[in-house]
Amino acid sequence: MKPAQLRLAGGVLAALGVVLGGLAFLLGSGSAKGDLTLDLKFKDRVVSGAYKAYGSKDCPVPMWLAKSVFRNQTGLRLTDLRVRYRVSEYAESDWNTWHKYAAVDPGQTVVDLYYPIFTAQTARLTSRAPADLTVECQYTDGRGRKQEFSESRRLTIMSRYEFFFSDLTAEERTGAFQDSDTNYPLMAAWVSRSDDAVVGRLASLANKKAGGLGASESDESCIEVLGQLYEMMRAIHISYQHPPNLQDSSMSYDIKSVQSLQFPRDTIEKRSGTCIDLAILMAAMMNSVNIEPILVSMDGHCFPMARLPQSRRFVPVEATGVGDGYAKSMSFAEAYKSAMETWNKINRTGRYNLIDVRTLWTQGIGNPELDPLPPDILEKWGIMETAERGGGGGGRRPAPDQNRPAPTPARGSLAGNWACQLTMPNGQGVTGGCQIVQQGSQVQLIFRFAYQQMGEDGQMHQVQEMNPFQGSFDGATVQAVCSQSQVAIDGMTVPSQGLPYRIVLQAVSGGLQGQFANSAGITASLALVRQ
């Protein structure tokens, strides 16, 4: 039995991609069909909330769903190549029109892209749904014979609330922040351009509280209206909701994972949201009163900015500063100061992307259709009375997350032997051991696992692996990287996959807890208890 026959992906840390259902965003296969070779690549997940972008070839994000790479290696000229595609249930037509190529000369390669036009039904999904992508090809071979064939792939239509930041494979990423955030322009689809019964009414009331100023007339009036938009969010007691399953409390989301995004009306109705939800809500309110909205996407955080009408200067706002509208919230001046500090910091590092909402709308990233709401919906939600009465919070709220309890620092050195548990999001897990060596702030963690796993042959096989991590410990947090791994299946060494691995662990009472991630962006929770 060759190790390659086992579907183990080179160890448990690399095998997370298999256990989690294979989260490779871009899949491909090569196969010979008659006289023509086809390499079909496709994106196995559809961002349904941004479904309109898929039909736009000019979208700033490459939104092709399938890429067919044809190679003529026959030595003869092929003619009348035709290609067409369909996506079951969700495309506007059963098949798209034929893509035609008059001839394919010997040794020539033809690359054909499919930009599907999805129906509005796509964006009504509130849970994931499977769909079949089919490509059909016809051509005349070098001997004048008609040839035709088809191939199908299974993909997933994500729910309207799901967003992932990149579909680059591990091999395509360079380690730059932008490689982990290639889909950032699609966030503009969640900023409602027109939702008058909810967003429009609140924004208009905020503008009224600013004296009815025209926000686009001057920088001063724009800032005044911007401040009242923020204060309106405080007045109706919208709260910042930190994701409960995120181990690193300094982050508001994990850029490697699928993120749940709310539309502005959802955040208003629930009166809570993550940093992205609050930024999206404020951007929608800005647009409603003619303030140019910008979103800033950075490592684990997002905040809105306004572009002033005269100077064109950016005015950032820490939207999470609304807190709960009571004592744990920032004033507008404090939220501006906090965001400006962040903005200056990331300008030095370059680890951010700007989402120019209005420009992206014109480039094909349109909003999905939302169900109509009655004009008195804010009254029914019990929001309008609070909004009209006003009364934001008092007292200064600390910078985001500083008011949360800090993890209990570990006592003394981490050196010694630890039992560890690696748990995937689906609940599956594996136990092992970890030896930690510490010298000052520098630590080495050596994880060892031994477990059984089913191979493609239907038999159970014994897997052993050792994963050494090098990193640092500041008394509260361990951050470490593993660049080499040793994996054996039934005693035979196999190559590791998914390197490098990264872990971030927080010292808590009784041990260490945190998260593991490999280079493909696959994550799992990790817990250590001292033996």
pLDDT at 21: 28
Q: How confident is the model at residue 383 (pLDDT cuts 50, 70, 90)?
A: very high
Q: How confident is the model at residue 484 (pLDDT cuts 50, 70, 90)?
A: confident
Res 3 pLDDT > 70? no
Contacts of 224 (CB under 8 A, 6+ apart): 210, 211, 213
Instruction: Give residue for tokens 């792939």.
Output: 153
Res 400 pLDDT > 60? no
For the sheet with 352-356, list strands across it. Answer: 314-316, 301-307, 292-298, 352-356
pLDDT tens for each residue of 39-66 = 999 999 999 999 999 988 888 898 999 9
* Domain at 416-530, CATH homologous superfamily: Quinohemoprotein amine dehydrogenase alpha subunit, domain 2 (2.40.128.120)
Region 75-103: what's the mean pLDDT? 93
Show the tokens assigned to 459: 């038999």
What is the separation, in whole angstroms, between the first and last Cα of the chain?
A: 37
What is the DSSP track for 250-319? T-SS-TTS-EE---HHHHHHHTEE-HHHHHHHHHHHHHHTT-EEEEEEETTEEEEEEE-TTT--EEE--G
pLDDT at 464: 87
Establish whether the linkage from the previous residue to 500 is cis, with ω within 30° of 0: yes
pLDDT at 349: 87
Res 411 pLDDT > 70? no
Show the tokens assigned to 150: 């088809």
Phi and psi torsions of 212, nearest 5° = 70, 25
pLDDT at 507: 86
Instruction: Calculate the dihedral angle through the C-alpha atoms of 248, 250, 256, 260, rounding to the nearest 10 degrees.
Output: 100
Are the beta carbons of 221 and 214 closer than 8 angstroms?
Answer: yes
Res 398 pLDDT > 60? no
What is the rounded CA–CA span in Å between residue 97 and residue 93? 9
Q: Where are the domains of the chain?
A: 26-160, 170-389, 416-530
pLDDT at 205: 95
Residue at 429: amino acid letter: G
pLDDT at 486: 86
Res 301 pLDDT > 50? yes
pLDDT at 23: 27
H/E element holding 33? strand 26-33
**Cα–Cα nearest to 83, from 55, 114, 107:** 114
| Residue 256: Cβ within 10 Å count | 20
For the entire predicted model, the pTM comes to 0.67
What is the rounded CA–CA span in Å between residue 513 and residue 124? 37
Region 310-316: what's the mean pLDDT? 94
CATH fold of 26-160: Immunoglobulin-like (2.60.40)
